[in-house]
């Protein structure tokens, strides 16, 4: 049981050991160490005093030893599996070694971080399996975490509005506004046919089709929204959809007022005053 990051760390140790050996007989010169281990390179970049892992602390000692014996030591990140000749070669050697060597777990050290990550992974899988399928959030985003790459530049309102839409609990569309007013009826206010959910408004409601097309909005967009401009597009959809329903409501209220006025003028007891 060993994590990929631990295996890559061992490879860095072995590589630097060899370089130290070589630099004894041939000191000086510039050394370039290329690795596709992003996690280890980022951790090493924090510096020798900020290493929590003993193996990385030890690696830093070796790097300092190597830098004393050479003019310059440069670390470079390379993408794996992209056809870089030497990277492909080490990948092949690693795969071959895995097939040949039949090492028992007793012979291999197990790191605490490796155990932690395995337990976390296991608990996460267990949690995902117990997640009910029909939830609005899962219907929109699946089991993936929310990706908000530019969220630091979003203001508080944008972040909370998008999060509310993802959960299906938005204060202006979906079942939430009716529920807080204690209304039992949850028929869509736009089409008057299906139950009103955020999903329905964004994807299915035929009365909002034109608006949806014009602003290019659907749950697919909501699931993947990463930039502020995309978030604005969705929030604009909500705003305009609410404006449409407010307009419809105002027109209805004006019609009722006219009926009221006419019934007052006529003074007929037979005409019942309509209420909004
Ligand atoms: Zn509808």
The tens digit of pLDDT for each residue in 113-155 reads 778 888 998 998 888 788 777 777 777 777 666 655 556 678 8
pLDDT higher than threshold 50 for residue 211: yes
How far is 260 from 54, CA to CA, in rounded Å? Answer: 83
Question: What residues sit around ligand 1, an ion, with C-beta below 5 angstroms?
Answer: 188, 190-191, 205
Q: Read off the tokens for 48.
A: 């020798």
Q: Read off the tokens for 217.
A: 């909005």
- Cα of 274 to ligand 1 centre, how many Å? 26
Q: Read off the tokens for 178.
A: 């009716």
Mean pLDDT of 99-108: 67
**Predicted pLDDT at 276:** 44
pTM of the model: 0.49
How far is 113 from 120, CA to CA, in rounded Å? Answer: 10
Q: Where do the structural domains in the chain lie, given as residue ranges?
A: 4-115, 151-242
The pLDDT confidence band at residue 267, using thresholds 50, 70 and 90, is low
**Predicted pLDDT at 263:** 63
- Cα of 191 to ligand 1 centre, how many Å? 4
- Cα of 211 to ligand 1 centre, how many Å? 13
Mean pLDDT of 217-242: 87
**Predicted pLDDT at 225:** 79
- Cα of 225 to ligand 1 centre, how many Å? 23
**Predicted pLDDT at 45:** 93
Q: Which residue has the tokens 């895995």?
A: 98
Provide CATH code, domain 4-115: 3.30.420
**Predicted pLDDT at 94:** 81
- Cα of 261 to ligand 1 centre, how many Å? 32
- Cα of 244 to ligand 1 centre, how many Å? 12
**Predicted pLDDT at 192:** 92
- Cα of 186 to ligand 1 centre, how many Å? 11
pLDDT higher than threshold 70 for residue 269: no
User: DSSP H helical segments within the chain, as ranges?
Assistant: 4-25, 38-44, 54-69, 85-100, 112-129, 136-141, 156-167, 176-180, 198-199, 209-215, 219-224, 228-266
């Amino acid at each position: 049981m060993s994590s990929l990051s631990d295996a890559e760390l061992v490879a860095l140790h072995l590589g630097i050991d060899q370089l130290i050996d070589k630099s004894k007989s041939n000191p000086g010169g510039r050394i370039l160490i290329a690795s596709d281990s992003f996690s280890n390179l980022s951790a090493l970049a924090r510096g020798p005093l900020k290493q929590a892992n003993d193996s990385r602390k030890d690696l830093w000692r070796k790097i300092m030893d190597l830098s004393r014996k050479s003019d310059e030591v440069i670390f470079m990140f390379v993408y794996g599996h992209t056809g870089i000749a030497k990277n492909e070669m080490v990948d092949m050697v690693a795969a071959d070694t895995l097939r040949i060597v039949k090492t028992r777990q007793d012979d291999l050290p197990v790191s605490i971080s490796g155990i932690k990550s395995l337990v976390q992974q296991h608990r996460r899988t267990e949690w995902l399996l117990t997640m009910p399928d029909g939830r609005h959030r899962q219907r929109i985003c699946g089991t993936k975490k929310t990706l908000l790459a530019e969220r630091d530049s979003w203001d508080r309102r944008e972040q909370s509005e998008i999060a509310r839409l993802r959960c299906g609990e938005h204060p202006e569309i979906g079942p939430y506004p009716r529920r807080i007013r204690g209304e039992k009826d949850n028929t869509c206010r736009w089409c008057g046919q299906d139950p009103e959910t955020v999903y329905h408004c964004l994807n299915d409601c035929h009365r909002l089709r034109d608006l949806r097309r014009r602003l290019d909005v659907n749950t697919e967009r909501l699931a993947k929204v990463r930039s502020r401009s995309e978030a604005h597009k969705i929030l604009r959809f909500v705003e305009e959809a609410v404006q449409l329903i407010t307009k419809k409501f105002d027109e209805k209220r004006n019609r009722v007022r006219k009926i009221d006025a006419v019934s007052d003028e006529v003074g007929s007891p037979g005409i019942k005053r309509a209420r909004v």
